[in-house]
Amino acid sequence: MTAPPKNLIRREGGKIVLLVIDGLGGLPHPDRAVTELEAAHLPQLDAMAKASSVGRAQILPVGYTPGSGPGHLSLFGYNPLEIDFGRGVLEALGSNHALAPDEIAARGNFCSIDGAGVVQDRRADRPSDDECRRLCAALQAGVTLDGAEFLLLPGKQHRFTLVFRSEGLGHHVNDNDPQVEGKAALPFVAEDVVSERLASLATQFFDQARTVLAAEAKATGVLLRGFSSRPALETMEERFGLRSAAIAIYPMYSGVARLVGMDVLDPGSSLEEQIEVAKAHWDQYDFFFLHTKQPDQAGHSGDFDAKVAALEAIDPAIPALRSLGADVTMITGDHSTPTVHFEHSWHPVPLVLESSRTIPVADVTFDERGVLRGDLGTLPADSLVTLALAHAGRLDKFGA
């Protein structure tokens, strides 16, 4: 899906609300033969589905399991496969940090490095997550870069994200990971003139880290790779003519929304409050993105009943969402997170779209099998904003 031709986009028209229920879709419980959505009592979502267009969103190509960053970008009308994400950017997004334009991110590993600079263990014997946090804090306190700030975001075990912040940094610097153990870490070399400062900053970080970590038993050095800057994307306003706002409690999702130029509003602390925030800013924006996280977390935990409960906790807020009075209200997920799978999965995600121009089907329900009877079929997620533009009266006819 490419965005519609610019000359078809009307800069005025109705309002669009998109609620993303993270990890929405699931799979049948092996003993109960129903999915989480099917097991859940969701009278409000079912009522909305029966009054709406219903189908499924195919987030990425068939079989691809979406990460949260690509999943959301697709829902926002961008093709993640065409966006040149560096590894560092993806890691930063995954650590709830959306890069600012003056930042460069790299994926980091703690490693065991000897006095001669030879890497003995590329993962420092896999420290615990707590250890990783302690080591990151030590580096944050102990390293000082010449003319640049930096931020360390701890990850799982030996993993962290390193963000350099300074104006005018190029990012074409090699990885220093020798890829095999028993070899020296590679020197950082700029591949172009504009990246020379970053190579110098990375070298400073690497050298000082060895000093700070010298007394550690295992994690005596760092390996850095995938230096990358924020991808330059059209804003939602440029691409779709939509003044857009994100109302998301978790920073990761506000971060992805910032990548496409959304304003980020203070979300409060519950879906009910997020809906109130949308109401309070109703006149300022054309597109409201609301995000709710709990079903995904329950999916990752593998706790079927917890996911059912998380879905049931969302349901009572649906009337308030609908009564915002948007011309188009869409609810879907950024990917499925089936509890039997513990992780994101590749399955299409249930989708409901309410407007005054839909074709409701009486016997749909808002679950994986119930939406199969709906009128939308399975739509590429990156076409949903365009479909919403049409329903909102924001898209001209193509051709005479």
Q: Which residues bind a second copy (CB under 8 A)?
A: 1, 4, 8, 27-28, 35, 60-70, 80-81, 85, 90-91, 93-94, 338, 340-341, 343-347, 356-361, 368-369, 372-375, 377-380, 383, 386-390, 395-400
Residues in CB range of 111: below 8 A, 6 or more apart: 119, 120, 121, 122, 123, 124, 158, 185, 219, 220, 221, 222, 223
- Cβ proximity to a second copy, 265 vs 361, nearer residue: 361
> Considering the complex, what minimum distance in angstroms separates the CB of residue 320 from a second copy?
24
Residues in CB range of 11: below 8 A, 6 or more apart: 241
> Considering the complex, what minimum distance in angstroms separates the CB of residue 80 from a second copy?
6
Residues in CB range of 115: below 8 A, 6 or more apart: none
Q: Name the residue among 48, 16, 2, 119 with its Cα closest to residue 366.
A: 48
> Considering the complex, what minimum distance in angstroms separates the CB of residue 139 from a second copy?
21
> Considering the complex, what minimum distance in angstroms separates the CB of residue 39 from a second copy?
14
- Cβ proximity to a second copy, 27 vs 311, nearer residue: 27
> Considering the complex, what minimum distance in angstroms separates the CB of residue 69 from a second copy?
5
> Considering the complex, what minimum distance in angstroms separates the CB of residue 193 from a second copy?
29
- Cβ proximity to a second copy, 13 vs 338, nearer residue: 338
Distance from CA of residue 173 to its chain's centroid?
Answer: 26
- Cβ proximity to a second copy, 8 vs 306, nearer residue: 8
What does the radius of gyration of the chain's CA atoms come to, in whole angstroms?
23
> Considering the complex, what minimum distance in angstroms separates the CB of residue 54 from a second copy?
11
Dihedral sign of CA atoms 142, 226, 381, 340 in order = negative
Is the CB of residue 349 less than 8 Å from the CB of residue 36? no
3-state secondary structure of 239: helix
Distance from CA of residue 184 to its chain's centroid?
Answer: 35
- Cβ proximity to a second copy, 1 vs 306, nearer residue: 1
- Cβ proximity to a second copy, 134 vs 369, nearer residue: 369
Is the CB of residue 391 less than 8 Å from the CB of residue 329? no
- Cβ proximity to a second copy, 218 vs 344, nearer residue: 344
